[in-house]
Structure 1
Amino acid sequence: MQINIGIRQEYLTAVSHSLGRILADEFVLYTKTRKAHWCVTGPDFHSKHLFFESQYQQLEGIIDDVAERIRALGHFPPATLKEYLAITHLTEISREKNDATGYIKELLIDHESILIHLRENIDKYATAFHDAGSSDYITGLMETHEKMAWRLRAHLE
């Protein structure tokens, strides 16, 4: 059923596709954070294991929220690994060492990449697509990633 929420259908489609790329980024970041949680080694194992767990749990909630935002706009989110890997901005990196510092640096780069992408879309959603709700939504998402990135960065200082 076509929705009627005061936004033209082509704009809903454009925002939904853009949010799909954000969803893909979130899912890839979630997977990489899970890997860090599972594979981290070293003298600080316990604290980093718990730290990565708190981060992936937060990302798990974000993933669900982004997918539900896409559904609220009348579209279906991408939902396969193949789709995510085809549209993500992030890369999968194979690590030889499973040290916390290496994982933290990689995850921080990914958070910052997502932050840049979110910032690039805030005004576009509001002005070009007349979707203040999605603009507001990704502004909140940006603030969440800023805090998560700060927590990662603090481990490197």
Structure 2
Amino acid sequence: MKDLRTVTPGAVKVKTGVEAPEAVAEKLAEILSGTYDLLIRTHEVHWNIEGPMFYGVHMLTETQYGELFAATDELAERIRALGHLAPATPGALLDTDAKGTKAKAGAAAMITALKDRHEALSRACHEGITLAEDSGDPVTADMLTARSAAHEKAAWMLRSMAAG
């Protein structure tokens, strides 16, 4: 009998019919990283927004970061279901090359930065949908379709706020 205190997580082969689980898991890890990064940037705006748009942006970003947090768990769990480890270090989860939302920027610039990140994640989801479908993975394709819809809605709402 194995000593359960010494079990370490690792990648495993799963036999669910997904033809390229590693490639799908890698794309999901990329989307997870982008989602986590956007979660942090959304908090940055939520905490630092000022001016006449404060209340509306503060409330919208609170809703959005809650949705993003739930999405990180769903994405990580799908990576695990595909037999791979989810990225879990700050370096793997945050895009250190990306420019922040610049808390000292005006409200419109902060909102536009978030909108741009949602649009980029939507595009990444579209790529993931194609990869998942080509790999015979309708579960991931469905999940990424829902993720893309969430990002497109968030981008629309942010775009509408910044237009005023």
Indicate whether the TM-score tops 0.5: yes
How far apart are the structure 2 equivalents of 1:40 and 1:98? 9
Residue in structure 1 matching 2:45, options 23, 33, 36: 36
Give the 3 Å change call, closer, same or farther, for CA 156–94 of structure 1 in structure 2.
Answer: closer
Query: Is the counterpart of residue 54 in structure 1 residue 84 in structure 2?
Result: no
Aligned residue number for residue 143 of structure 1 = 149
1:143 CA drift (Å): 0.9
- Normalising by structure 2, report the TM-score: 0.84
| Identity of matched residues, % | 33
Are the aligned partners of 2:21 and 2:83 in contact in 1 as well (CA < 8 Å)? yes
Amino acid at match of 1:155: M
Shift in Å at residue 97 of structure 1? 2.3
Contact (CA 8 Å) 1:71, 1:77: kept in 2 or not? Answer: yes
Counterpart in 1 of 2:123?
116
**Two-structure CA RMSD over aligned residues (Å):** 1.9
CA contact (8 A) 1:16 1:75 kept: yes
Cα offset, 1:137, TM superposition: 1.3
Distance in 1 (CA, whole Å) between partners of 2:117 and 2:50 is: 21
- Equivalents in 2 of 1:52, 1:5: separation in Å? 37
Once residues 97 and 158 of structure 2 are traced to their aligned partners in structure 1, the CA distance between those partners, rounded to angstroms, is 17
Structure 2 CA distance, aligned partners of 1:143 and 1:16?
A: 20
* Structure 2 residue ranges without an equivalent (≥5): 1-11
Q: Which of structures 1 and 2 has the bigger CA Rg?
A: 2
TM-score normalized by the length of structure 1? 0.87
Distance 1:111 1:89, change over 3 A: farther
Distance 1:89 1:112 in 2: 19
Report 1:5-154 matches (<5 A). Answer: 5-8=16-19, 11-85=20-94, 88=95, 91-93=98-100, 95=102, 97-127=104-134, 129-154=135-160
Q: Which amino acid aligns with 1:141?
A: R
Q: For residues 56 and 14 of structure 2, what CA distance do their matches in structure 1 show?
A: 47
Contact kept in structure 2, 1:25 and 1:89, CA below 8 Å: no
Q: Which runs of 5+ in 1 are unaligned?
A: none
Residue in structure 2 matching 1:3, options 11, 14, 21: 14
Deviates further, 138-147 or 46-55: 46-55
Q: Where in structure 1 do 4 or more consecutive aligned residues deviate above 3 Å?
A: none
Amino acid at match of 2:39: Y
- Aligned letter for 2:158? L
Are residues 12 and 96 of structure 1, via their aligned partners in 2, closer, same or farther at CA, if it must alter by over 3 Å? closer
CA contact (8 A) 1:37 1:52 kept: yes
